[in-house]
Amino acid sequence: MVFALWERALEHRSPGRTLVDLSLFGSARFTWGTIIAGLGIFAFFGLIFVTPQYFQAVLGTDAMGSGIRLLPLLGGMMVGAGLADRVAARVGAKVTVTAGFLVLGVALILATATTATSGYGLAATWTAIGGLGAGLALATASSAALATISAERAGVASALMQAVQKLGTPLAAAILGSVLNAGYSDRLDVTGLPAQAASAVRDSVYAGVEVAGRLGSPDLLLGVRTAFVDGLDQMLWVSAGVAALGVLLTVAFLPARAPRVAAVTVEQAESGHEVGLPTQR
């Protein structure tokens, strides 16, 4: 807020010297497209953040195995992003982004059914569905934000949009990480463990798995993994709530269609003559 006020005052005193062109936020499509894409990144980060940890700490895979098991998520994202433009051309950005958030929300809720003994099949399902929803929502929201920006301002608008959206990642890491750790700590039972071992188990799920292995205690190992999954479930519900907020904001504020001013301007520049009416999206 302080930064925005400073930039506005600087624009009045010295036009053209501001770091951020705040007039871009005069476009409802740009403003809400940027905000909604940021929410989508926050919600999707829940999957990206916790899935590798689940694979390694609960399923017992190594880093390579964890990466391979993320392929359904990446595949889902590729399919969703590939379909986004064609779907938006048919039904509009509002419907496409809403559908993407709904699919992502379904994946997050499905993921809360995960237990310490679920295995990889369920995880592969919700990661693939989550990737599909994120691909639809994020690609379309980002495209919608820039659809009415002229070619001369497209670079600045894109940089500003990415800067705003990147705030979602550290915020998600801080908030969702805190929820995950709190859930893990609350569910953890270290009764009977030596003080040093109990402290290590409380530090992280990885340390808990290591201590359980060192002590040769399958009960402790199951307890650590169960506590982690409980924290995972709580974190996923928070992410699902953010996805639901994304649905509400999309339906309420994101314009369904708008002239593709940026695309038209580019066509004019390339052809050297005027192009007819702008296309709708």
Q: Which domains does the chain have, with CATH numbers?
A: 26-167+239-262 (1.20.1250.20)
Phi, psi at 278, each rounded to 5°: -65, 145
For the segment 18-70, what is each residue's pLDDT rounded down to a tens digit? 656 667 777 788 889 899 999 999 999 989 999 999 999 999 999 999 999 99
The pLDDT assigned to 14 comes to 62
Task: Give the SS3 label for residue 259.
Answer: strand
Question: How far is the C-alpha of 34 from the C-alpha of 164, rounded, in Å?
Answer: 7
In tens, the pLDDT along 238-265 reads 999 999 999 999 999 998 765 444 443 3
Per-residue pLDDT at 91 = 94
What are the E-state strand segments in the chain? none
* 247 close to 98: Cβ distance less than 8 angstroms: yes
* pLDDT at position 268: 39
Burial 101-129 (b: 16+ CB within 10 A, else e): bbbbbbbbbbbbebebeeeeeebeebbbb
Mean pLDDT by 10 residues, the chain (281 residues): 55 60 76 91 92 95 95 97 94 96 97 94 97 96 85 80 80 94 94 92 94 95 96 97 97 74 38 40 44
